[in-house]
Amino acid sequence: MCGIAGYFLKNGAIESSRGIDLLLDPLRVRGPDDEGVCLVSRRDKSFVSCKTDFTVPSLAGRLPHFKDDLSVKAHDFSLLHTRYAIIDLSEAGHQPFVSHDRSVVGVFNGEIYNYVELRDELTSLGVKFRTSSDTEVLIEGYRFWGKALWPKMNGFWAVAIYDLTNDAIVFSRDRIGVAPLYYREMPNGFYFSSCIQGLMDLDPQGIEVDDDVVLGFAQTGIKDHDDTTFYKQIRSLPASTTVVFPAQRVRVSEASCKRYWDFPKNRLHVSDLSLDEAMVKYRETFFTAVELRLRADVKVAFELSGGLDSSSVVAAAALLRNNDVTTYTAKVKDADEEPYARSLLKSYPIDYRVLQNLEGGFREDHQSFSRVMEEPYDNPNDYTHYKMLMRMKAEGVSVVVTGAGGDEILAGYEGSFWPKAYPELKRTGFFWEADWYEFCRRFKTLREAYKTLRHYLVDSLKYFGNSIESKSKIPPQITATRALAHQRQYRRLSFHGQTIYHFKVALVPYYMRSSDHFTMSIPIEHRFPLLDYRMVELCMQMPITYLFKGGWTKYLLRKAMEPYLPRKIVWRRKKMGFTFPYYRYFAANRSTFEPSLANLKAINFPTEQFGTYDQLLERDPALLWRVLSIAIWVKDCPQVLNRT
């Protein structure tokens, strides 16, 4: 991963080197290994590659500085890049990258995991390569295939390209939206960046808080939906989409926006694919997804929580690498799952490391961590995860592979997915399977079943599961927001619609943005084999009965990985999870956090709808944190405070 930014201007508009400085400065933490600038004159269809004060010395001597008067005067389009080197660590991977025939220049944040296969295909078609980088594969692939490139790529990316052959500016984001790409439309042109801060700094006084997004986040915990941010003037370009700006166009409304990929529209029936066939397909796809994410020229390590998803990823990697794998497990007070993680050592003699004492420091660091996150965030555990990754980075790790995504693709959140899966199974003829699952999930032991069997038989046609409504108990005087509308719509969606909802609205967009902020502030790269698009396509087509079976969630994964994992992991009914002790923590640290609530006076936030610190602490400590997170964020936003 890296940092990218840039702008293109209206006809005749001029941007000074100050604009480049403002965009580059917050990107530097994302790319400490190299920097580059390309200044383009669209009128002349010419460009010049420039250095900055942080360009690698081996290149700096051959490039003009971007602050050179002639370079600045001539350009109306810029591409900026800060590099975090993962593949081809040499200067050959320097960006902005120029195609062999100099017809395409671009910047790229992300990794193309199947770059080896794509390079071989392009080589067979006559394309010549000068480097071993995935960046060159992307640029030459675009030059050769054009828009047909994007569906061929397996990885994550945010790309900005200038095509000199037709004076088009092309943006693309990966299918799931792992790599961020924010933009701001200004009077003189279009500005984009991997970070929010640089776009704000261009004109702080022109920034307004989006009151609807702020309030909706407080109500529901949903953010990063509808390609929004907490600022009206800053948005995200959509995932799985290419956005092409023709000549002289600088507004998204004037561009061509086309999706190159979408989620499966329907699920298969059991008659289309047997469970055994599904298990084989799952294993094949999963192992190749993990294998692709082992590619790097730096140290790769694995997060191992002891749960089913991360354990499956580690087991696959251990088999693929003959146990040459390093894992990190967090040992946490009151939620210690380390013994489960340790059980893998019986099968895989891997380099197993345990991290402890990660919880401390949040009270002292919460304000600075808010700046890292750039916006309010839903869970203080993000900070603990950040501390864990910092420790891994200190031990030389540059890339971390994680099991995140398994619950989204396989409907692992029972309380969210089973309420709709249950009636749909019954409606499609799986009466016995639906009732047996419901029976098993309610009565985990035979003793419980015996005691309550009579009650269950009377009530078997009714379901009293958990609703997807927010855990937050919002008072009755609710202001309508877009986030609240999304949340209320959830219950009306089909089971399949609910799985897509979590990719487009709720869980995945939030996690991807939050993860990007705290990982790239280190920097360290996160990789998600369970979010490989082939895994998403496969699992989101699986019949519901392969996901929920006999009281077990994610049944397909359990059966597929049963030969490779300890039974205590595969057939574990309940994962503890790493939950933040909201009530205990905010009760003990009231004097630190309560004064922050005064910051809410600076924005149009209806505090009367939520209550006092004490009321929120007693009624819903997680909601208290969301309100506090907003208040802490406000303190670091002079753009917000100056508005009043």
| DSSP, res 543 | -
Q: Is 397 helix (H, G, I), strand (E, B) or coil?
A: coil
Half-sphere exposure of 537 (CA within 13 A, CB side): 10
Do the beta carbons of residue 107 and residue 79 sit within 8 Å? yes
Q: Which residue, 520, 535, 570, sits at the end of a domain?
A: 570
Same-domain pairing of 536 and 553: yes
Could you give phi then psi for residue 40, rounded to 5 degrees?
A: -115, 135
- pLDDT tens per residue across span 173-203: 999 999 999 999 999 999 999 999 999 999 9
Omega before 96 within 30 of 0, i.e. cis: yes
Dihedral (CA of 560, 565, 568, 574) sign? negative
Same-domain pairing of 547 and 588: no
Residue with tokens 């379901």: 463
Q: Specify the pLDDT at position 464.
A: 31
Same-domain pairing of 32 and 99: yes
Same-domain pairing of 58 and 198: yes
Nearest CA-CA partner of 318 in 299, 353, 345: 345
Q: At what angle do helices 495-504 and 414-427 cross, to 10 degrees?
A: 150
Residue at 461 is within a domain: yes
Hey, what amino acid is at 94? H
Do the beta carbons of residue 170 and residue 160 sit within 8 Å? yes
Q: Is 76 helix (H, G, I), strand (E, B) or coil?
A: coil
Q: Is 38 helix (H, G, I), strand (E, B) or coil?
A: strand
Residues of the chain predicted below pLDDT 70: 70-73, 334-335, 444-477, 576-578, 638-644
Tokens of 325: 């794998």
Where do the DSSP E strands lie in 524-601?
A: 525-527
Same-domain pairing of 253 and 215: yes
Give the structural domain span for 79: 3-108+156-259
Rg (CA), the chain: 25
Alpha-carbon distance 566 to 272, whole Å? 31
| DSSP, res 356 | -
Residue at 130 is within a domain: no
146: phi > 0 → left, psi -120 to 50 → alpha, else beta; which? left
Residue at 519 is within a domain: yes
CA triplet 26, 160, 108: central angle to 5 degrees? 65
CA-to-CA dists, residue 410 to 247, 308, 360, 489, 537, angstroms? 44, 12, 33, 21, 11
Same-domain pairing of 329 and 389: yes
Half-sphere exposure of 605 (CA within 13 A, CB side): 28
Residue at 135 is within a domain: no
Residue with tokens 């999963």: 286
Do the beta carbons of residue 411 and residue 499 sit within 8 Å? yes
Q: Specify the pLDDT at position 141.
A: 98
Helix (H) or strand (E) holding 326: strand 326-330
551: phi > 0 → left, psi -120 to 50 → alpha, else beta; which? left
- CATH number of the domain to which 93 belongs: 3.60.20.10
CA-to-CA dists, residue 147 to 144, 153, 164, angstroms? 9, 11, 15
pTM, rounded to two decimals:
0.92
Same-domain pairing of 346 and 429: no
Same-domain pairing of 418 and 522: no
Residue with tokens 């699920």: 267
Same-domain pairing of 75 and 217: yes
Residue at 242 is within a domain: yes
Helices (H), 463-552: 482-490, 495-504, 507-520, 533-539, 544-547
Alpha-carbon distance 47 to 42, whole Å? 8
Same-domain pairing of 512 and 613: no
Nearest CA-CA partner of 162 in 102, 237, 122, 234: 102
Q: At what angle do helices 507-520 and 495-504 cross, to 10 degrees?
A: 30
Residue at 594 is within a domain: yes
Alpha-carbon distance 449 to 436, whole Å? 12
Half-sphere exposure of 338 (CA within 13 A, CB side): 13
Same-domain pairing of 22 and 170: yes
- Core vs surface per residue 247-273: b (16+ CB within 10 A) or e: eebbebeebeeeebeebbeebeebeeb
- CATH number of the domain to which 302 belongs: 3.40.50.620
Tokens of 475: 């008072």
Residue at 601 is within a domain: yes
Q: Specify the pLDDT at position 585.
A: 93
Q: Which residue, 462, 490, 518, sits at the end of a domain?
A: 490
Kindly compute the dihedral angle of the four CA atoms of residues 123, 126, 132, 138, in this order, to the nearest 10 degrees: -90
CA triplet 118, 124, 130: central angle to 5 degrees? 70
Q: Specify the pLDDT at position 358.
A: 78
Q: Specify the pLDDT at position 13.
A: 73
Alpha-carbon distance 608 to 614, whole Å? 13
Nearest CA-CA partner of 387 in 377, 376, 375, 372: 372
Alpha-carbon distance 227 to 502, whole Å? 14
Residue at 500 is within a domain: no
Say how many domains are in the chain: 4
Same-domain pairing of 565 and 593: no
Nearest CA-CA partner of 363 in 519, 638, 584, 622: 584
- pLDDT tens per residue across span 408-426: 999 999 999 999 999 999 9
Dihedral (CA of 482, 483, 489, 494) sign? positive
Tokens of 540: 């989101």
